[in-house]
Amino acid sequence: MQDVVVIWLDNQIDDNNVDCQFTIAQLEHITDNVTTFTDNDECVEYILNCNDHQVYLIVSGTLGQYLVCCIHDIPLLHSIFIFSQNKSYHEQWAKHWNKIKDVFTDITSLCQAIQNTFPQDEPTITPISFVPSGKRLDLLNPSFMYTQLFKEILLTIEFEDKHIEEF
């Protein structure tokens, strides 16, 4: 599975702002790899150099409207999420781009949507063996073979009621 990176692009991000700190903290709950950008060009350059990561981009509505046409076809860009208070306006243009998952107005629903689009890990299957690895499986224990033969013989004999009474 490829590593995941969540990128948040918004020209209003301020590391000293309590709301921005809260948003970043919420994003870091779903992945440790969160990167923020306020500059379009730096963000695009970063996405183009994310060779080993699947990119999930959160972008403000205004920036997204102009940026999506430039980055939509980047193969490592898995999903785009629009984060804006003007949901109805941005939904109009966003519906034309298949990598845009939705327009979100709150961080909780945004984080949930991002988490739902993450690739699911394949279940880890641990091999378990009750037979020692050096043991030949084509050889059976003789007492087991005799027991199986005896069982087969008993099952093929047709017993009548008189045989059962005699027993």
List, in order of start, the domains of the chain with CATH numbers: 3-117 (3.40.50.2300)
Q: Report the C-alpha gap between 94 and 96 in whole angstroms.
A: 5
Judged against a pLDDT cut of 50, whether residue 149 lies above it is answered with yes
pTM of the full structure: 0.68
User: How many Cβ atoms sit within 10 Å of the Cβ of residue 112?
Assistant: 12
Residues 63-105 have pLDDT tens digits of 888 888 888 888 889 999 999 888 888 888 888 888 989 999 9
- How sure is the predictor about 1, in pLDDT bands with cuts at 50, 70 and 90? very low
pLDDT at residue 50, as a whole number: 83
Buried b (16+ CB within 10 A) or exposed e, 23-40: bbeebeebbeebbbbeeb
Q: Report the C-alpha gap between 66 and 50 in whole angstroms.
A: 21
pLDDT at residue 76, as a whole number: 87
pLDDT at residue 159, as a whole number: 76
Could you tell me if 13 and 35 are in contact, meaning their C-beta atoms sit under 8 angstroms apart? no
Residue percentage of the chain with pLDDT more than 90: 19
pLDDT at residue 161, as a whole number: 81
Residues 101-143 have pLDDT tens digits of 999 999 999 999 998 887 765 555 556 656 566 666 566 677 7
**DSSP states along 65-129:** HHHHHHHTT-TTEEEEEEE-S-HHHHHHHHTT-TTEEEEESSHHHHHHHHHHHSPPPPPP-----
Q: Which residue has the higher pLDDT, 27 or 132?
A: 27
User: How many Cβ atoms sit within 10 Å of the Cβ of residue 84?
Assistant: 20
- How sure is the predictor about 58, in pLDDT bands with cuts at 50, 70 and 90? very high
Could you tell me if 63 and 144 are in contact, meaning their C-beta atoms sit under 8 angstroms apart? no
Could you tell me if 33 and 53 are in contact, meaning their C-beta atoms sit under 8 angstroms apart? yes
3-state secondary structure of 33: coil
